[in-house]
Amino acid sequence: MILVGENINIMSKTIGAAIRNRDAATIQQLARQQAGAGMDYLDLNIGPARRDGPELMEWIVKTVQEVVELPLSLDTTNPDAMEAGLKVHRGKAIINSISLQPERLERMLPLAKQYGAAVVGLLWGTEGMPRDADDRAALCVELVQRVMDAGVPPEDILIDPIVTPVSADIGQVIAVVEFMSAFKDLAPGCKSIVGLSNVSNGTPTELRPHLNRAYLAMLMKYGLDAAIVNAFDEELVKLARGEMPEILNLVHRIMDGERFDVNELPEKERIYAKTTLVLMGKVVYSHSWLEA
């Protein structure tokens, strides 16, 4: 699986400040640490960056690639910033992201072919958030067609079904899994990607890794190809690298409807089992789901 480190993100207080102050040392240190944690790509989220986008993106791409060999995922809605980043990027970049919204297609999509970059296709429709797995399927087919028409080969298309917080609407969490179950047939040759940490947004910080990991294990059942993740969650990285087959097996059996007496399982298995049940919508989410 392709792992994309999410940690360089303008929304974080300290990193946000470092980006705004063009504090290269802080950014570079974080880049090195993520590379050391085994990431394949680093995501550079500079936000909408409406005012200084191009200059900022160019700066941050250069700054990061000065110290790490890794290719980057350029994360902004600003097409000028995107292009500025692609111009100076070394290797095969990821454009993160486009969607069927005309303003994002028209300016961003041509950049993929022009710069030979891969592209994240967000399943966000012209009418907004997809409501369920079916909406996602329809959007996916349309978006893949549009991107291929623009000359991007399927293996460079990363479809993002939009992960949303477990505490907001469990139906959406389930819908992503259902969508993934048909993905290989819906978009042959294309890849799938998720912004994994979204699933645990709004939950207590110390518990977030449990949700992220279990959800990753669930999505791996259907061959998830890539994930944008917290680079510093070691267990998550091991899981993604296939080093925890027994856990994957457990989660997938639960998804297939097998029943376990979860409280009888050893500690680690118990956590995965309980969390999987929450993410499947079998148990209602509350901050104390692990204690019940």
Query: Which residues sit at the interface with ligand B12, rule CB under 6 A?
Result: 11, 124, 129, 164-165, 168, 195, 201-202
Residue 17 phi, psi (nearest 5):
-65, -40
Take residue 53 and report the two structure tokens written for it.
């986008």
CB of 90 to another protein, least distance (A): 27
- Contact (CB, 8 A) for 232 and 37: yes
Report the alpha-carbon distance of residue 15 to residue 255 in Å, rounded: 38
Q: Of 128, 131, 142, 120, nearest to 187 (Cα)? A: 142
Instruction: Please report whether residue 67 would count as binding another protein according to CB under 8 A.
Output: no
Q: Which of the listed partners (another protein, ligand B12, none) does 92 bind, with a CB threshold of 5 to 8 Å by partner kind?
A: none
User: Which partner from the list ligand B12, another protein, none does 38 bind, CB cut-off 5 to 8 Å by kind?
Assistant: none
The smaller minimum CB distance to another protein, of residues 37 and 133, is found at 133
- Phi, psi of 76, deg, nearest 5: -160, 155
Q: Which of 137, 159, 162, 224 binds another protein (CB under 8 A)?
A: 137
The CB-of-168 to ligand B12 minimum distance in angstroms stands at 5
Residue 253: CB minimum distance to ligand B12, A: 30
- Are the C-beta atoms of residues 193 and 212 closer than 8 Å to each other? no
The one-letter amino acid at 136: R
CB of residue 124 vs another protein: minimum separation in angstroms?
9
Q: Is 256 in the site for another protein (CB under 8 A)?
A: no
| Cβ proximity to another protein, 68 vs 182, nearer residue | 182
What secondary structure letter does DSSP report for 125?
B
Q: In whole angstroms, how far apart are CA 38 and each of 14, 26, 137, 227, 229?
A: 23, 19, 32, 13, 11
Q: At a CB cut-off of 8 Å and minimum separation 6, what does 114 contact?
A: 86
When CB distances are held under 5 to 8 angstroms depending on the partner's kind, the choice from ligand B12, another protein, none that residue 164 binds is ligand B12
Is 171 a residue that touches another protein (CB under 8 A)? yes
- DSSP string of 190-256? -EEEEEGGGGGTTS-GGGHHHHHHHHHHHHHTTT--EEEE-TT-HHHHHHHTT--HHHHHHHHHHHT
Among 22, 32, 50, 92, binds another protein (CB under 8 A): 50
Binding-site partner at residue 223 among ligand B12, another protein, none, CB < 5 to 8 Å by type: none
- The footprint of another protein (CB under 8 A) covers 11, 47-48, 50-51, 77-78, 127-129, 131-134, 137-138, 141, 169, 171-172, 178-179, 181-182, 185-186
